[in-house]
Amino acid sequence: MFRQITEDVRVAMEKDPAARNFIEVLLLYPGVHALITYRLTHALWGMGFNFMARALSQFSRWITGIEIHPAAKIGHRFFIDHGMGVVIGETSEVGDNVFIYHGVTLGGLATKKAKRHPTIAENVVIGAGAQVLGPVHVGRNTKIGSGSVVLQDVPEYSTVIGVPGRVVFSGISSDMEDDDGLESFPDPVARAIECMLDRLPQMEKEIRHLKEILKKEGIDPQVATDSATIKRRQSES
């Protein structure tokens, strides 16, 4: 248990550039406090002390603003940044090296006693306010944008944004950060504009080619365009 707590603190120091020293993180970081309490309550839950585990979990929720069910399964090198409003449900499964921000919910949609919460694979980043709902599987090395609502399985090496969440990028790189060390969530509107700009030179080339064909046939391209416009308007009217 002591080794696990030490690892949790050191992971927080690695992933949070604002962390200055071990003691500060251990005493002042609510995400670390919630995770330490979870490690204890999860052990108690496994030994059958369910009421005691839930009681400690509720106390931790009251102190930190983070609710982690004792039955949830969380791997190593897990870090919650800020943490207020984070909810991790009973049948959630979280892999190693997962990083989530405040306001994230790993919640359920069903009321049956079955697997009803998400499974998060390794090396996943979940942005602030994101909701991952139902027994969905989020593949490894995936990034979920802030405020997204994920209701379906997500393939590995993907970026998800929007409501409902949609995959806007799916690659093969395992890098979770860009060259400046910042989390990168591509803008789908910007991507659409880039695609249009990439297409424009080809369209202009095709238009020039059509004009050349019309000129060879002895047809003025401008007159042909005006005639086509007049005919279209007449058919519409």
Retrieve residue 109's tokens: 């949609």
162-201 tens-digit pLDDT: 888 788 766 654 444 454 444 555 556 666 677 788 888 8
**Mean pLDDT, residues 115-125:** 91
Do 129 and 214 lie in one domain? The reply is: no
Residue 108, C-beta contacts closer than 8 angstroms, at least 6 positions apart: 89, 90, 91, 116, 117, 133, 134, 135
The pLDDT score that the predictor gives to residue 188 is: 61
Residue 85, C-beta contacts closer than 8 angstroms, at least 6 positions apart: 65, 66, 102, 103, 104
195-219 tens-digit pLDDT: 788 888 888 888 888 888 877 877 7
Do 93 and 178 lie in one domain? The reply is: yes
Give the torsion sign (CA, 84, 86, 90, 96): negative
pLDDT exceeds cutoff 50 at 50: yes
Residue type (1 letter), 87 = V
Do 13 and 118 lie in one domain? The reply is: yes
Q: Which of 186, 204, 227 is the last residue of a domain?
A: 186
The pLDDT score that the predictor gives to residue 228 is: 61
The pLDDT score that the predictor gives to residue 19 is: 82
Do 134 and 216 lie in one domain? The reply is: no
Task: Tell me the three state secondary structure of residue 188.
Answer: helix
pLDDT exceeds cutoff 80 at 230: no
Distances (CA, A) of 129 to 106, 161, 175, 188, 223: 11, 12, 23, 19, 57
d(CA 186, CA 192): 11
Per the structure, how many domains does the chain have?
2
d(CA 45, CA 40): 9
Do 15 and 66 lie in one domain? The reply is: yes
Do 168 and 215 lie in one domain? The reply is: no
The pLDDT score that the predictor gives to residue 52 is: 93
pLDDT exceeds cutoff 90 at 222: no
CATH classification at residue 34: 2.160.10.10
Do 179 and 146 lie in one domain? The reply is: yes
d(CA 130, CA 185): 13
Q: Are 89 and 70 in contact (CB under 8 A)?
A: no
For residue 73, the cross-strand partners are 93
Range with lowest mean pLDDT among 10-14, 16-20, 88-92, 189-193: 189-193
Write down how long the chain is: 237
pLDDT exceeds cutoff 70 at 73: yes
Q: How many CA atoms lie within 13 A of 207 on its CB side?
A: 9
Hey, how many other C-beta atoms are within 10 angstroms of the C-beta on 50? 14
Do 101 and 13 lie in one domain? The reply is: yes
Where residue 119 falls among pLDDT bands split at 50, 70, 90?
very high
Q: Are 165 and 148 in contact (CB under 8 A)?
A: yes
Do 198 and 92 lie in one domain? The reply is: no
Do 177 and 195 lie in one domain? The reply is: no
Do 11 and 119 lie in one domain? The reply is: yes
Retrieve residue 23's tokens: 């003691």
d(CA 108, CA 88): 10
Domain range enclosing 27: 2-186
Where residue 106 falls among pLDDT bands split at 50, 70, 90?
very high
Do 53 and 157 lie in one domain? The reply is: yes
Q: Are 146 and 162 in contact (CB under 8 A)?
A: no
pLDDT exceeds cutoff 80 at 234: no
